[in-house]
Chains A and B, each alone.
Chain A
């Protein structure tokens, strides 16, 4: 690659990437940093830091619940971005992708938003409700700041698959099954054919998300794609530890968390 990009030097692997997703502020900013550190320990290559939103169209009930908890704790787009330098201070070294719906970005303003990402050392941005046709200005701004603008591609993107894949930056987010985020018990054979097609066009690693919830899925995806994106499953693990976190058994909750993630990634 000729142009310098934010992931350069920080993401050296080109396959078996582990890209976890957590919601900033779920259940508190402090705990988000703790989970990020544990995920890094368990081999995470890139962290997707979700910004809670009142109307998350692309998310299923699990992430909706996480967003609700985080909003209740006072999280916002600005605070989520400002959490990144805090994470760095405490030892998070892997690149961070801010995952936010478009409306909060619009309210900050495109220029101010990218200034904020740059000032806080954020490496990437993903806006799930800003499809290719609407994203030109944002993509250009991301390029100027050398911030990776992560694109999504779906099985029913059809002729757009090529268009989206060819301009992909950072990694390309492949939606493995139709529908909103959430765990599913079976991988879909059609999805695997789709991944093949995407890989043929993409200059960057192709990671698969939406519905990966156990080690079997991880193995299957890694056989065909360059990485896995795991959201809802991780949120559920966090959820199962909420009671312990509330009852001053934070360390125990974090140990459980690490164990579960290890199981998820290594069987």
Chain B
């Protein structure tokens, strides 16, 4: 039996906690009390699940990848289809939960950080749906790279606030969102996008994402006599992986988290926080992160903006240290190859983030027996990645047709 995490101080083993300026302690306490109350309230949970069903379109499908299984040979491959969730990724599950909590707390204004824009879009979406005012903090560099998502957020009625501090990327947008929250916490709710940040955020986001794992467990039992031998999910901050893994932590299933190796973990350009990082504090949480010898946080790199984060959720740090989850790293090129294979064999274009999980699984299934099954979380769809994909595949695709 695993110990229940987080503990009362918000710790997952050695990791987690609240490393924040004094001015945030009050708002975090207020959030924790409201969250605990809400999660005990049948009516709140009922509303959350109702919105998931009739607005987001859940449950998402569990798809047997018969062609890709045949192509690779070995274990049977199942796909959890978060790409079919409204707005195109798992991010919305959490945004719905937190927006309902914000409303319950009487906060009419939400703020969010975003890197690639997926969480920003999810936040702008729930703001529109529930009549909230929404500000999204986004690094200037990311705004330039993600023009389409910036427009989507604005179309949904959100204000996109450019962040020029630091390097103008996700980590800086998160800093700025936290600073803004410090100054405006009385009427603002900070809707964080992953299982990161100070307690109680990692726990809250995991609990709003565990619907992925809960559904998978139920769906899998309907089609297979045994649980999957392995489950794969990509990890940036780690919310889709945590949501998928959590209901399986005490089951006999090998869990595999896949980080972004960028141009290779032996180059400086990667985002493999657990493989190459060290423990430290980022965004209010003690976890693994990428930093230099003086404890200054360094910039990660990945072709996938959603994995391009120098930290990782503290629960992942704990699952890494306790060896409950195996963590691997996949390069840009390996992810692109896996994306192409899934597209050609199954007619599913996954997000480049999700393709990291696919790539690791595709490496392993040929070495497994045909009696075994595996499950991969397809955390999002690839529509948002078309510009990147065109850069890589256009010539090849045009040539072939």
**Does A188 count as interface, using CB distance less than 8 angstroms?**
no
Q: Is A24 an interface residue (CB 8 A)?
A: no
Total residues of chain A contacting the partner, CB 8 A: 39
A153 to B283, CA, bound (A): 20
Q: A55-B171, A178-B182, A179-B182 are in contact. Are A104 and B20 (CB under 8 A)?
A: no
Within 8 A of B (CB), among A192-219: none
Chain A 155-166 per-residue mask, 1 if CB under 8 angstroms from chain B, else 0: 011101000100
Interface membership of B105, Cβ < 8 A: no
Q: CA–CA, A156 to B186, complex, Å?
A: 10
A-binding segment of B290-298, B320-328, B332-340: B290-298
Q: Provided the pairs A54-B297, A156-B185, A180-B179 are in contact, do residues A106 and B281 lie with their beta carbons within 8 angstroms? A: yes
The answer to whether A156 touches B280, judged by C-beta atoms less than 8 angstroms apart, is: no
Q: Which of B22, B183, B185 contacts A153 (CB 8 A)?
A: B22
Check A61–B165 contact: CB distance below 8 A. yes
**Residue in contact with B294 in the complex, picked from A60, A77, A154, A180, CB distance below 8 Å:** A77
Given contacts A107-B280, A129-B284, is CB(A180)–CB(B296) below 8 Å? Answer: no
User: Quick check: which of B23-31, B237-245, B379-387 contacts chain A, the rest being far away?
Assistant: B23-31
Q: What is the count of residue pairs linking A and B with beta-carbon distances less than 8 angstroms?
A: 109
Q: Is A154's CB under 8 angstroms from B26's CB?
A: yes
Residue from the set B26, B166, B282 with the largest chain A CB neighbour count within 10 Å: B26
Q: Which of A57, A77, A133, A178 contacts B284 (CB 8 A)?
A: A57
Q: Which of A132-170 contact B (CB under 8 A)?
A: 133-134, 152-154, 156-158, 160, 164
For B22, list chain A residues within 8 Å (CB): 128, 131, 152-154, 157, 164, 175
> Which chain B residues lie closer than 8 Å to A57 at the CB level?
20-21, 175, 178-179, 283-284
Find out whether the CB atom of A53 lies under 8 angstroms from the CB atom of B26: no
Q: Which of A77, A108, A179 has the most CB of B within 10 A?
A: A179
Q: Which of A77, A103, A156 touches B23 (beta carbons < 8 Å)?
A: A156
Cβ of B182: which chain A residues have Cβ within 8 Å of it? 58, 178-180
Instruction: Tell whether B247 is near chain A: CB-to-CB under 8 Å.
Output: no
A 58-80 to B, binary, CB cutoff 8 A, 1 in contact else 0: 10110010000001000011100
**Chain A residues within 8 Å of B279, by CB:** 106
Residues of chain A within 8 A (CB-CB) of B179 are 57, 60, 179-180
Bin chain B's interface residue count: 20 to 34
Q: Smallest CB-CB separation from B10: which chain A residue?
A: A133
Given known contacts A64-B165, A71-B296, A107-B291, A175 and B18 CB-to-CB distance under 8 angstroms: no
In the complex, the answer to whether B294 meets A55 with C-beta atoms within 8 Å is no
A102 vs B279: C-alpha distance when bound (angstroms):
12
Residue A130 at the B interface, CB < 8 A?
yes
CA distance A175 to B183 in the complex (A): 12
Query: B280 near A131 (CB under 8 angstroms)?
Result: no
Instruction: Check B294 against A107 for contact (C-beta < 8 Å).
Output: yes
Q: Please determine whether B19 and A54 come into contact, CB atoms closer than 8 angstroms.
A: no
> Whole-angstrom distance from the CB of B72 to the nearest CB of chain A?
42
Evaluate whether A133 and B185 lie within 8 angstroms (CB atoms) in the complex, with A107-B295, A154-B26 already known: no
Known: A61-B165, A129-B21. A178 touches B175 (CB 8 A): no
Shortest Cβ gap from A110 to chain B (Å) = 13
Name the residue among B23, B284, B291 with the largest chain A CB count within 10 angstroms.
Answer: B23
CB distance from B308 to the nearest CB of A (A): 16
B392 within 8 A of partner (CB): no
Bound-state Cα–Cα, A119 to B248, Å: 51
Q: Give the complex CA separation of A133 and B27 in angstroms.
A: 15
Contact of A175 among B23, B165, B280 (CB under 8 A): B23
Nearest-neighbor residue (CB-CB) of A177 within chain B: B183
Question: Contact at A103–B297, with CB atoms within 8 Å?
Answer: yes
Q: In the assembled complex, which residues on chain A have CB atoms less than 8 Å from the CB atom of B296?
A: 53-54, 71, 76, 104
Residues 33-62 of chain A, each 1 if its beta carbon lies under 8 Å from chain B, else 0: 000000000000000000001111110110
Task: Compute how far the CA of A107 lies from the CA of B295 in the bound complex, rounded to whole angstroms.
Answer: 6
**C-alpha spacing A58/B22, complex, angstroms:** 9
Per-residue contact bits, chain A 73-104, to B (CB 8 Å; 1 contact, 0 not): 00011100000000000000000000001111
Find out whether the CB atom of B280 lies under 8 angstroms from the CB atom of A178: no
Q: Is the CB of B175 within 8 A of A55?
A: yes
Min C-beta distance of A175 to chain B, whole Å: 6
- Docked-complex contact A178 and B23, CB < 8 angstroms: yes
Is B17 positioned at the interface, with any CB of A under 8 Å from its CB? Answer: yes
A residues in contact with B283, CB < 8 Å: 55, 57
The answer to the question of B9 belonging to the interface, with a C-beta cut-off of 8 Å to chain A, is yes
| A-contact bits for B1-45, CB 8 A (1 contact / 0 none) | 000000001000000011111110111000000000000000000
Residues of B within 8 A of A128 (CB): 21-22
Nearest-Cβ distance from residue B11 to partner chain A, whole angstroms: 10
Given contacts A133-B18, A152-B21, 5 further A-B contacts (CB under 8 A): A102-B281, A103-B280, A129-B21, A178-B23, A180-B183
A interface residues with partner B (beta carbon < 8 Å): 53-58, 60-61, 64, 71, 76-78, 101-108, 128-131, 133-134, 152-154, 156-158, 160, 164, 175, 178-180
A to B CB contacts below 8 Å, 25 in the list: A54-B166, A54-B296, A54-B298, A55-B283, A57-B175, A60-B179, A64-B165, A78-B294, A102-B281, A103-B281, A103-B295, A106-B295, A107-B280, A107-B293, A129-B20, A129-B281, A131-B19, A131-B21, A133-B25, A154-B21, A156-B23, A157-B26, A178-B183, A179-B23, A179-B183
In the A-B complex, the 6 residue pairs with the smallest Cβ-Cβ separation, listed nearest first, are A179-B183, A156-B26, A104-B295, A107-B295, A58-B21, A76-B294
